[in-house]
Amino acid sequence: MSVSPLRRRCLSALGLWPALGVAAPPPLIRHSLVQLPEGVPNYEQAVLRLLLDKTTASHGPYRLAPASPMSQSRAFLQLGAGELDIASSVTTAERENQALAVRVCLYRGLVGIRLPIALKRRRAELQGVATLEQARGLRLAQVESWPDTQILKANGWPVQAIARRDSFPALLERERIDLFALSAIEVFPFVDALPSLCVLDGWLIAYAAPLYFFVSPSQPELAARLRKGWELVLADGSFVALFEQWVGPQLQRAALNDRRWLKLHNPSLSADTPLQDDRLWHPLVAARLRGQAPG
């Protein structure tokens, strides 16, 4: 039976919807995930669908609706106001007080493994960084609403805060900055599209920075559903299989084991971060950053 929107509103006003044998539509889940160019497949949405699909039998069907692009700061305001249901973000203790954190990292801890981006014509000059002291002498930009900016500043790095990720290439070209750093699982698609830039070999910046799904405080049932989904996909191997399918090629290209890891402390990490649960972390992250206790 097809019911027009007008008739549906009339039935609802009379208390007859979803009576008369007409099923209510599945709940709409409004989300703000990583922002990618139009048409680029979205790994985070694939993970979200995996969790929701695994719990459809127990929690019912669903519909997804992406929100308009927004900063992470705006997303957390909307979560608090109940205008958004799910957002993805690197965690901080403050953000875990603002929304319901589902404490499994979508990227198995690899968001905090940052590869340096520089001008190709400066590759030889910047490639040989060997120590954190040398690296901190370089001018770095980072997006102001990302927790990474505060992590870098807390470790004594001069950081130029920028409003949007897509403004860093122009800053590099004008030599207003020396470096920009993106995670090992996202850096190459960006740099491959920018012929004047390169990803430096030999070294990287590393800190514990799990990226979670955060749920509106007004949606505790949804947070519980996602946690149940994580239990299922970690137990049956489907999450690791999805991760390898989407992220594996980027990791292979990043050659993380062949680089010097310049480790930073993350003072904004929550004390509830499950650093000791091996199921949640990529083996390299577990081995190299195990001692990075929450601040």
Q: Is the predicted pLDDT of residue 40 greater than 70, yes or no? A: no
Average pLDDT over residues 279-285: 94
What b/e sequence results for 272-287 when a residue is b if at least 16 CB atoms lie within 10 Å of its CB, and e otherwise? ebebeeeebbbebbbe
Taking the complete model, does pTM exceed 0.75, yes or no? yes
Q: pLDDT tens, 126-174?
A: 998 999 999 999 999 999 988 899 999 999 998 999 998 889 999 999 9
**Using an 8 Å Cβ cutoff, are 200 and 134 in contact?**
no
Top-confidence range, 10-19, 259-268, 281-290: 259-268
CA distances from 72 to 35, 110, 132, 219, 223 (A): 10, 19, 28, 19, 19
Average pLDDT over residues 66-86: 94
Q: Residue 236: which residues within 8 A CB-CB, separation 6 or more?
A: none
Q: Is the predicted pLDDT of residue 295 greater than 50, yes or no? A: no
Q: How many helices (H) and strands (E) does the chain have?
A: 13, 12
Percent of the chain with pLDDT over 70: 89
Q: pLDDT tens, 212-237?
A: 999 999 999 999 999 999 999 999 99
Beta strands in 139-263 (DSSP E): 140-143, 159-162, 179-183, 197-199, 203-206, 211-215, 260-263
Q: What is the CA radius of gyration of the chain?
A: 21
User: Encoding tokens for residue 256?
Assistant: 């993380």
* Residue 176 to residue 218: CA distance in whole angstroms: 43
Q: Is the predicted pLDDT of residue 20 greater than 60, yes or no? A: no
Q: Is the predicted pLDDT of residue 1 greater than 70, yes or no? A: no
Q: Is the predicted pLDDT of residue 294 greater than 90, yes or no? A: no
Q: pLDDT tens, 112-126?
A: 999 999 999 999 999
User: Encoding tokens for residue 155?
Assistant: 């470790």
All domains of the chain in start order, with CATH: 25-109+209-251+266-289 (3.40.190.10), 111-206 (3.40.190.10)
What confidence tier does 189 reach under pLDDT thresholds 50, 70, 90?
Answer: confident
Average pLDDT over residues 76-99: 96
